[in-house]
Amino acid sequence: MASELALSEHLKANFSLNGLPAQVFKPFWRDLAEFNQYFRQLMTSNVKIVDRVARYLVKHRGKQFRPALLLLSARSCGKLRRESFITAVVVELLHTATLVHDDVVDDAELRRGFPTIHKIWKNKIAVLMGDYLLSKSLILATEVGSLEVMNLIATVAKRLIKGELFQLQKSRNLNITEAEYFQLIGDKTASLISACCELGALTAEAPEEHRRALRDYGEHLGLAFQIKDDMLDYEGSRFVLGKPTGLDIKEKKITLPLIYAFQSASEGERKYILKLIRKGADRKKIREVIDFVRDHQGLEKARQKAFEIKDTAINRLALLPDSEARNALMDLADFVVHRTR
């Protein structure tokens, strides 16, 4: 007993929420600490180069939002079982794999303020390391011993990649409709977030209707999350965000605020703005696009949409029994659309 208490104190002292909203996740810090131990143990290898890159990835890991969401979803359906922890590692490995490849594809210099894998170790290693993490994730997934879990993971992997490919295709002609935007963020963001919630339910052996409720909650949470992310690129403060605004404009990504602004602009204005973006906008022109979006209610309409979707997410949870975890999930949906970074 004494040593368990000591361990607990030790974990607590050494654990940080690392960017996760404290008001939501603090009561569950112990789950997250346990997950982190599993994750660190698995991010080692006896192939030297793999081990070195894996350690770098652990050191500069993100807030691990997806596994945290999976564990919270599982808690909302009952007790945490070993299967939920394994699956949480599976999704974090999968997410990490896609980020490593995305950075190659976008030739990104930095991730979370640190040099990307392909910038340090070159493309070769980054491509293979992404593949390695993906296959590691899948082997681990088979350990859960459920074909449903496997199929969910494989399907979400395909959706993530399909989204990336679609975005690459779209970034060339700048011609994206509202429906296509929703399909894109559904594939690129909501798919994995939704899968995390569903996997939480699945590994907690929840009844079918709870599982469906959590899947729908996750899909809407993911959409709201991405819309807010895209809004912050227009309305955020670079000092709070820790990165400049207007990055999407610079990278020729057309997101919801701009799509909505076009709806109340003339065809001439639309063409003018697209020309600015196509030519590769400098700071002054980015400012012009941001002002255009604000003046044409693009941000206001996007905010309304994000709030509607967030409300749908919360409503889906009404079906679940009242619990600290269920209420935390509700708070999380609110947090997602109110955050400033």
Q: Which residues bind a copy of itself (CB under 8 A)?
A: 47-50, 98, 101, 104-105, 123-125, 127-132, 134-136, 138-139, 141-142, 145, 147, 150-151, 153-155, 157-158, 161-162, 164-166, 168-169
CB 143 within 8 A of CB 86: yes
Nearest CB to a copy of itself, comparing residues 18 and 45: 45
Nearest CB to a copy of itself, comparing residues 15 and 166: 166
CB 304 within 8 A of CB 192: no
Q: Measured from the CB of residue 59, what is the shortest distance to a copy of itself in angstroms?
A: 20
> How many angstroms separate the CA atoms of 256 and 252, rounded?
13
Q: Nearest to residue 304, comparing CAs of 213, 192, 228, 219?
A: 228
Nearest CB to a copy of itself, comparing residues 154 and 247: 154
> How many angstroms separate the CA atoms of 141 and 199, rounded?
11
Q: Measured from the CB of residue 238, what is the shortest distance to a copy of itself in angstroms?
A: 28
Instruction: Give the three-state DSSP class for 264.
Output: coil
Nearest CB to a copy of itself, comparing residues 98 and 245: 98
Q: Measured from the CB of residue 251, what is the shortest distance to a copy of itself in angstroms?
A: 13
> How many angstroms separate the CA atoms of 330 and 326, rounded?
7
Q: Which residues contact 161 (CB under 8 A, 6 or more apart)?
A: 98
Nearest CB to a copy of itself, comparing residues 131 and 324: 131
Q: Measured from the CB of residue 206, what is the shortest distance to a copy of itself in angstroms?
A: 21
Instruction: Give the three-state DSSP class for 110.
Output: strand
Q: Measured from the CB of residue 198, what is the shortest distance to a copy of itself in angstroms?
A: 15
